[in-house]
A and B are shown apart, each in its own frame.
Chain A
Amino acid sequence: MGLREYINDIVEAVVTTVKGMRITARYGIDAREEVTQQYPEERRETDERFRGFLLNDIARCTSCTMCVKVCPVDCISLEAVRGADKKMVLVSYDINIMRCMYCGLCVEVCPPKSLVHTGGYEKALFNRGDFTLHFVHEDAAGIKARVAKQVAEAAAKAAEAAKAAEAAKPEPEKKA
């Protein structure tokens, strides 16, 4: 190592140190550049396409079970019975968010677009069971009983109608 390189090394060390210190000083003095957000007080607004907790609008849900089938981790469970008007009635719709990996496949696949991601991301609870989101708040047995009753009523009505129709039918025959 020649003397020229030796001195160059020293000069370079001094110059680069001063350069670096100028940069850090600029950041140190300019308080506006702080990017920290004080989390519990300041909350970041989640983006439009943020995949937070799932939310199912059960009024629009058709119980098609597409979400259940597509879910890679089987975190959605759904139970439905056929109603009086031949449409499915949801008995229970649960999502275990401890299993959910927020892949968004269920939202993509949902035909009536009733299943959506919300912006929610905070969940700290004391019991494991609380991590299952229930979307049908009514008692499952109650719904089943009600639907069964409606189905029975509809069936009875249909039977009556059929009977009435049957009773009405022969008359024209008689006339004829």
Chain B
Amino acid sequence: MEVLARSLISAFPVISGVPLWAVTLLIMVVVAAILLVFFLTFGGLGSYVLRKVAGDIQVRIGPNRVGPYGILQFLADGAKLILKEDIIPAKADRFLFVLAPYLVFIGSFSAFVVVPFGVGLIAADLNIGVYYVMAVTSLVVIGILMAGWASNNKWALLGGMRAVAQIVSYEIPVAMALLPAVLIAGSLSLQDIVRSQGGLVGIFGWNLFHNPFTFFSFFLYLTAGQAETNQTPFDLPEAESELVSGYNVEYSGIRYAFFFLAEFGDMFVVAALASACFLGGWHVPFFRAEALPSLWGNLLSLGAFLAKAFGLVLVMMWVRWTLPRLRVDQLMRMSWKYLVPLTFVNLLGVSLWLLVFKGKGIPQLIASIFTG
């Protein structure tokens, strides 16, 4: 940010009187605003796509009234949520009840800081990127439990407790499934991880094809990520048919919208991390985006990244409308007995692979045969 501020000041002498920190702060606010707009648009359009996909899969039509093909449905929904009465139950814990949606929203939104959108498009390239995402999305757990507790409602509390048990359990396989990418790149920074997947006509540099273990790791991550974002095969915290709506039953209006947006934000973060760590992030297949002039390179890589991430979001929705919900004990069994051991085995496998083949993946080994 400070580098950008310095270059901005040197480019426009008019603002040279403004102190450096002020320009930096301004840039930070602008970047945050852009991310927020992206977040909200994704939440809105995501809800539309989710309902449309659900309609198609369930042999229905889905939203089709507002605008052409119902595309403006999310604006109508948004307006409705903003105008609705904001109800706080009489016996609720007022302070926690009001605070909870913000925590959930912040936890989900702050993960966007390290999402590598393009060659140079990243809010902050933290050197602990992956770790930061893991840490910050844990805030969601606290918010959800807070919401469940403060609502003074049996269903909400059950939903909140289930959410905590679930998210804490699945945090381990999520982190373990991401570690192979970290090992290969030798860095926790998401930009470094993406950069390490370049070369070899774009596609074959991807960690997905690096070795068999990373290939499985990708699917393990998607599965665990699905659980981490409370989506349908693992949507026990919400479970409409048994808990009505889980931790957010008592919420209405704009506070409900925060939970709703956070859910879609989490979905995007999971998809973005999966595409950054396994699908080559912003690398354009058969093309080197970094070599292009800054503007076009950034735009092209942004497009490639968003295409990958949205594709994964679509896959998550597809899974969501395919599988029925698990039972609580099945959910825990799946995490502790299947996902956790498998991710550990994967991690071990990747470590051994890197040791034996000196960090080279299968495509690189094949390429080295031909190049001699």
Contacts and interface: CB of A to CB of B under 8 A. Distances in A.
A13 B222 CA distance: 15
Interface string A122-162: 00000000000000000000000000000000000000000
Contacts of B56: 27-29, 31
Contact of A28 (B53, B319, B338): B53
B126 to A, nearest CB: 35
Contacts of A21: 318-319, 322
A33 B56 CA distance: 9
Given A24-B321, A27-B56, A10 B338 contact: yes
A20 B322 contact: yes
B14 interface: no
Contact of B57 (A10, A27, A36): A27
Which of A28, A29, A34 is packed against the most chain B CB atoms within 10 Å?
Answer: A28
Given A23-B322, A27-B58, A27-B59, 6 more contacts: A25-B318, A27-B56, A28-B53, A28-B57, A35-B59, A36-B60
Contacts of A35: 59-60
Interface string A2-36: 00000001100100010011011101110101111
Contacts of B60: 34-36
Interface of B: 53, 56-61, 318-319, 321-323, 338, 342
A31 B64 CA distance: 14
A173 to B, nearest CB: 92
Q: Lowest 7 A-B CB distances belong to which pairs?
A: A28-B56, A28-B57, A24-B322, A20-B322, A36-B61, A24-B57, A33-B59
A27 B62 CA distance: 14
B59 A34 contact: yes
Contacts of A36: 59-61
Contacts of B61: 34, 36, 38
A31 B319 CA distance: 19
A9 B333 CA distance: 12
A24 B57 CA distance: 5
A24 B232 CA distance: 14
B335 to A, nearest CB: 13
A67 to B, nearest CB: 42
A13 B326 CA distance: 12
Contacts of B323: 17, 20
A31 B61 CA distance: 9
A156 B338 CA distance: 103
Contacts of A24: 57, 318, 321-322
Nearest to A35: B59
Contacts of A27: 56-59
